Amino acid sequence: MSIEKPAENRLWGGRFTGASDPLMDLYNASLPYDKKMYEADLTGTKVYTEGLNKLGLITSEELKAIHQGLEEIKKEWESDTFVEKQGDEDIHTANERRLGEIIGKHIAGKVHTGRSRNDQVATDMRIYVRENLTQLLKFLATFIETILKRAESEIDVLMPGYTHLQRAQPIRWSHWLSSYATYFTEDYNRLKQVLERVNKSPLGAGALAGHPYGIDREFLAQGLGFDSVIGNSLTAVSDRDFVVETLFWSTLFMNHISRFSEDLIIYSTAEFGFVKLSDAYSTGSSLMPQKKNPDSLELLRGKSGRVYGSLSGFLMSIKSIPSTYNKDMQEDKEPLFDALTTVEHSILIATGVISTLNIDKERMEGALTMDMLATDLADYLVRKGVPFRETHHISGDCVRTAEELKLSGIDKLTLEQFQKIDSRFGTDVKDVFNFETSVERRDATGGTAKSAVLKQLANLKSQLN
């Protein structure tokens, strides 16, 4: 009777003698997607073996051979010449198998001393996420800077501000830009906080109980650029909060991108005509040659749902797993990788859209109507000492009267008609009906006056470091 042997390069194969179901091999394998982490895995092994060398478990000559082998493997991945083989179930197995082929199995077999795939994969993921979030931070800063630059250069353009998608009060276009720059700057600051929590080292925690040879975990953390170590070995191997937080952050950012995109989609319609997208971020219709579709913005809006799904799906995967490592955790990588890629592409596309679109100043300012100054009319009487609740009612009477008389706006009421509604209206009431005056009155912090908007832009710019 012959016994089928499992693939020799399996890191867990010693106890098993029977062959596994080929479908199970496929179901269990993560190399097709976790090979993205090849560099993080090689870096982790490089530093870990330095720690083993400090303990005297690897000689300096062996360490040199290992590092040379790791460098050769890295070049193979970079040049797309790394040959994947049957039994390479994940990036850790593949790299260790290849290292044995290059430097010999005897020396390569020492790199896993005291290390488990549990702390190895957690380390790889934290390195990978850290590097990706650091890159996202740079892209996001550029996106925000692009918005701020546009806001500064178009500070004098006025447009309607909306509530319930109804014209409300006049604002500056730059005030609208500043509002989204504020959202995105909050995302930027939150991302820095997430990075701090990501950047903690699980390496040296072993399978769950800790390292049997007393490895210097602080040395490993410093060598890998981590700020600190995770102080409990059980938590170190099982914690995926950093994945959840990354997905939470990505979801909230994409929510802001989706709202930003929706506004621009509306503003780009023929009914509004406030903005026109560059051809680089638009498409035409296969049937109607006159159409120019804002596909870039619609995709930004649509891909937010994809990221939401990554978060909710992963939360369901980990909601009830028992302590330390369980194979359910392998489900962390695909949603995480997909979300990171989607967010990166979305930031780059959004940056391209906002840097290349054209605005129609005349259409924006032409959409301003005198009824939007009804609150300013109420404020006029407040300045004369009338309580606001009373002035609000009086201003409403003016709007209704203008409508009943079929006038084009409340500014068309005569002084006599104003005074018939309330005798406290004076000859200076006509000064109310100026859009520039209206926005300039709102100069308190956060307002739409030029001075207030410029302060907002300066404050946001100061936060990007």
19-43 pLDDT, tens per residue? 567 787 777 778 989 999 999 999 9
Cα–Cα distance, 22 to 364 (Å, whole number): 63
- pLDDT reading at 462 higher than 60: yes
Strands 166-172 and 358-359: unpaired
For residue 73, the Cα-to-chain-centroid distance in whole angstroms is: 32
Q: What number is the average pLDDT over the span 158-163? A: 98
How many whole angstroms separate alpha carbon 171 and alpha carbon 159?
6
pLDDT per residue as tens digits for the range 398-411:
999 999 999 999 99
Return phi, psi of residue 159, to 5°. -155, 165
Sign of CA dihedral 332, 334, 337, 343: negative
Calpha distance 432→413 (Å, rounded): 12
What does the alpha-carbon distance between residue 96 and residue 10 come to, in Å, rounded to a whole number?
10
Q: What is the CA 167 to chain-centroid distance, rounded?
A: 31
What confidence score (pLDDT) does residue 435 get?
97
**Residue 5, pLDDT score:** 40
One-letter amino acid at 448 equals T
**pTM greater than 0.95:** no
Return the structure tokens found at 309: 């799904």
Which amino acids are annotated catalytic?
164, 285
- pLDDT average, residue stretch 58-86: 97
Mean pLDDT throughout 97-110? 97
**Does the domain formed by 124-163+171-191+230-366 have CATH 2.130.10.10?**
no
Going along 173-301, which residue ranges are E strands?
200-201, 228-229, 275-276
List the structure tokens of 175. Answer: 């005030």
Integer Cα distance of 180 and 185 in angstroms: 8
Pairing, β 358-359 against β 275-276: antiparallel
- The answer for residues whose C-beta is within 8 angstroms of residue 103's C-beta and 6 or more apart is 65, 66, 68, 69
In the CATH scheme, what architecture does the domain 13-108 have?
Orthogonal Bundle (1.10)
Model confidence band, residue 2 (pLDDT cutoffs 50, 70, 90): very low
Q: Is the pLDDT of residue 184 over 70?
A: yes
Q: Which of 256, 302, 300, 257 is nearest to 281 (CA)?
A: 300
Whether the Cβ atoms of residue 373 and residue 158 lie closer than 8 Å to each other: no
Q: How far apart are CA 136 and CA 281, in angstroms?
A: 21
Rounded to whole angstroms, the maximal C-alpha distance in the chain is: 112
Task: Give me 148's structure tokens.
Answer: 């701020």
CA dist., res. 238 & res. 324, Å (int): 4
- DSSP assignment letter at 21: P
Query: Given 3-state DSSP classes, what are the helix, strand and coil percentages for the chain, each rounded to the nearest 5?
Result: 65, 5, 30
Tell the residue number behind the tokens 């700057």, with chain if given. Answer: 185
Contacts of residue 107, Cβ cutoff 8 Å, sequence gap at least 6: 62, 65, 66
Residue found by looking up tokens 């870990």 in the block = 48
pLDDT digits (tens, 9 = 90+) for 237-267: 999 999 999 999 999 999 999 999 999 999 9
pLDDT of residue 17: 54
Q: What is the pLDDT of residue 25?
A: 75
What's residue 285's pLDDT?
A: 59
Q: 370-462: which CATH number, 2.40.70.10, 1.10.530.10, 3.40.50.261, 1.10.40.30?
A: 1.10.40.30
Beta pairing partners, 160: 170
pLDDT beyond 80 at 15: no
pLDDT reading at 100 higher than 70: yes
Place of tokens 């100026």: 434
pLDDT at 316 over 90: yes
Confidence tier at 12 by pLDDT (50, 70, 90): very low
Q: Token pair of 318, please?
A: 């980990």
The domain locations on the chain are 13-108, 124-163+171-191+230-366, 370-462
CB atoms within 10 A of CB 289: 7
Mean of the per-residue pLDDT values for the chain?
Answer: 93
Yes or no: say if 224 and 199 are a contact pair by the CB < 8 Å rule.
no
288 pLDDT band, cuts 50/70/90, is low
> Are the beta carbons of 447 and 404 closer than 8 angstroms?
no
Characterize 247-259 residue by residue with b for buried, 16 or more Cβ atoms within 10 angstroms of its Cβ, and e for exposed.
bebbbbbbebbbe
State the average pLDDT over residues 382-400. Answer: 94
Phi, psi of 169 (to 5 degrees): -140, 155
Residue 358 bridge partners (DSSP): 276
